[in-house]
Chains A and B, each alone.
Chain A
Amino acid sequence: MFSQIDRLGRIWGMYTLAFAVFVVFLWLAEAAGWIGQRGIAWTFMVLTVGIYATIGIMSRTGNLDEYYVAGRTVPGIFNGMATASDWMSAASYISLAGTLYVLGQEGLSYTVGWTGGYVLLAMFMAPYIRKLGAYTIPDFVGVRYPGGLPRIIAVIAAIIVSGTYLVAQVSGVGIIMSRFLGLDFRIACFVGLLGILVCSMLGGMKAVTWTQVAQYIILIVAFILPTIFVSKMITGVPFPQLMYGRALTDVAATETALGITKGYLTPFNDWTQAQFLALIVCLMCGTAGLPHVIVRFYTTPSVRETRFSVGWALFFIGLMYITIPAYAAFARWEVLHNVVGQAIDSLPGWVAAWTKTGLLTINDANLNGLVEYAELGLDADLVVLAMPEMAGLPYVVAGLVAAGGLAAALSTADGLLMVVATAISHDIYFKLINKNASDRTRLNISRVMLVTVAAIAAWIASLRLSIIADIVAWAFSLAAASFFPILVLGIFWKRINTAGAITGMTVGLLTTLGYIIWSSVTGGNIGGILPNAAGIFGMPINFLLTIVISLLTAPPTQEIQNMVDRLRFPKHAYDAAAPATGD
């Protein structure tokens, strides 16, 4: 076991070093004038996607356990790394720093909520789910709440939540490829689709796991390196996570000097405190209920390893999440010092380039020829990708950031694609239609489903529907109001039964959806709660109804209660009677 980790550690250490050397080499090549901007962008894209494809092809497998849960042999620390990139999506990478830039202190609900969910995952979910040793989340729901209907509701919820999320990742790939490679957006979506399929089709979860490890390393290097440079430029010390306190102080002072009233460090000028708290709660519980995250904890060798694995996952996610607010603060500093107050005629080239995309607008309302803060419209999606140019860093840094964004989008897309395709091939086809299917048939159906689902996702992404971004923002509330209560109660309370779970899940989901639709259509709200935090209404109703209806109806059979007992202990007397895998 330890020698395996040593060996893997050496391999991935070499890989990280090789990537760093390659970045330095490209940098020198750019400085010497050997390579232009397009050349840099193409080199990054071809090289990184080439690495993922190589890993994907090397990890091909014909074994069901390897295909669905990577053979349950992934060491905790590497599963943690894979979970980190599985979890951090195009939204975390491209939009979160921008969201913080725009919202200021309220934006911290995302950094707290999305990390705090892992504590719930560690103590309420992951070890117990691993002990069951199934393949999917609907598997868990189906075993704990027998009768067929709960499994079907779980499959539908998993497909809706993960499916829309997948579309958002594909359009993230499309945006990056079209901006940096100059491809048409629709073509870029389908190129991105190929990039996703090479990672997952031949090797399933086994291939996805190791490409996600490779993608984590690239995305974290690509995010932290530029932040270190900017920190050195602005504060003189290359330690951004510690030093950006200075940038914050300076930002606050500059805002006062410029007469900006909606200050970066003043809370609750965008949202009410109720919305701030509600969103934190929804993001936490939603994170602990998202199928593509939970399934990763089926892949470790033991319950003990799973518990440590959640810690590693949050450690690797935390490296990114404590850097994101630093990135946002430095971006704010750059804008206040190097953009605001400049003559509009003499703005640097990147301003014109981003104005063309429509993400940046400068409207000289008082016609004095100077950029003023109020005249500057900056989209949240632009901040991360444009900051290297804003700070005047070489183009190789912009290319690196783009490659990191691509890694973030591809890794999450792969995890999601596995969930949706497996829900159809395993939970619907194998469990409900053909219980006698051979392993070979099941693998073939899985592969066909991967390609079909990916193609549909790419097609929907190419339509550029604005509703997709909204649905992704709602996904956490929907997961918090549907899966989270019945999973937690199912593990910690044997008395909870099928009737309770069905009622709780359905009404919780409908309440949340109802609030989202009502609020989106009429613009109304209760206590300033926005649609993205609507789960704060649905989740308590789910908990309450699941408990009340369960107590009013007959308790689960002794067999189910014994199964729950088995989940609670890494080793239990009933284990011998239970099947080894989720079959």
Chain B
Amino acid sequence: MSPKDAERYQQHFRANLGLTVKLLAVWALVSVGAAAAIEWLDQFRILTGFPLGYYMGAQGAQITFVIIIFIYAFRMRAIDQKYGVDE
């Protein structure tokens, strides 16, 4: 493996980790974060009358999770191509 290749791999992995950490922060915020603040969130009512804390646990978190995973899949596809490691 040439040093140039090694650097390319290193940059790809760093981009991967950067993206992972960012998305993981959002993940933690809407799941554990919302669960920790559930009583405070419940004072707000949204849509057809959901307490906000309840809504996050029943729908908001799940919808965010799906979006996070698809963002990861699309961004990683671009990162793979950028550093020439796509299949």
Contacts and interface: CB of A to CB of B under 8 A. Distances in A.
B45 to A, nearest CB: 8
Interface string A218-252: 00000000000000000100000111111011000
A130 to B, nearest CB: 11
A112 B61 contact: yes
Contacts of B48: 235, 242-246, 249
Contacts of A308: 70, 73
A109 B39 CA distance: 14
Interface string A288-307: 00000000000000111001
Interface residues of A, number: 53
Contact of A245 (B13, B23, B42, B49): B49
B42 A265 contact: yes
A111 B62 contact: yes
Contacts of A568: 9, 13, 16
Interface string A97-139: 0000000010011011101101100111001000000000000
Given A112-B61, A314-B69, A571 B87 contact: yes
A302 B49 CA distance: 44
B72 A122 contact: yes
Contacts of A112: 31, 35, 57, 61-62
Contacts, number: 147
Interface residues on B, range: 35 or more
Contacts of B50: 245, 248
Interface of B is mostly: helix
A284 B72 CA distance: 18
Given A116-B31, A267-B38, A570-B87, A307 B54 contact: no
A266 to B, nearest CB: 9
Interface stretch (A56-64, A275-283, A377-385, A545-553): A275-283
B86 A118 contact: no
A320 to B, nearest CB: 10
Contact of B85 (A119, A249, A302, A569): A569
Nearest to A126: B69
Contacts of A276: 35, 38
Contacts of A565: 9
A574 B85 CA distance: 12
Nearest to B17: A492
Interface in B23-55: 23-24, 27, 31-32, 35-36, 38-39, 42, 46-51, 53-55
A311 B73 contact: yes
B27 A267 contact: no
Contact of A267 (B9, B13, B42, B47): B42
Nearest to B71: A311
B1 to A, nearest CB: 5
A116 B27 contact: yes
A580 interface: no
Contacts of B47: 242, 245
A113 B31 CA distance: 8
Contact of A310 (B36, B46, B69): B69
A302 B24 CA distance: 24
Given A105-B57, A111-B57, A304-B77, A574 B69 contact: no
B36 to A, nearest CB: 6
Contact of B66 (A105, A127, A249, A315): A315
Interface string B1-31: 1000100010011001000100110010001
A356 interface: no
A321 interface: yes
A542 B78 CA distance: 35
Contacts of B54: 105, 108, 248, 265
A116 B65 contact: yes
Contacts of A109: 35, 57
Contacts of B69: 118-119, 122-123, 307, 310-311, 314
A572 interface: yes
A115 B30 CA distance: 12
Contacts of A249: 48-49
Given A112-B61, A304-B77, 6 more contacts: A245-B46, A248-B50, A277-B36, A322-B58, A571-B87, A573-B1
The 4 A-B residue pairs whose C-beta atoms are closest, nearest first, are: A108-B57, A245-B48, A249-B49, A307-B73
10 contacts: A241-B59, A248-B49, A248-B50, A267-B42, A277-B36, A304-B76, A310-B69, A568-B9, A569-B85, A571-B85
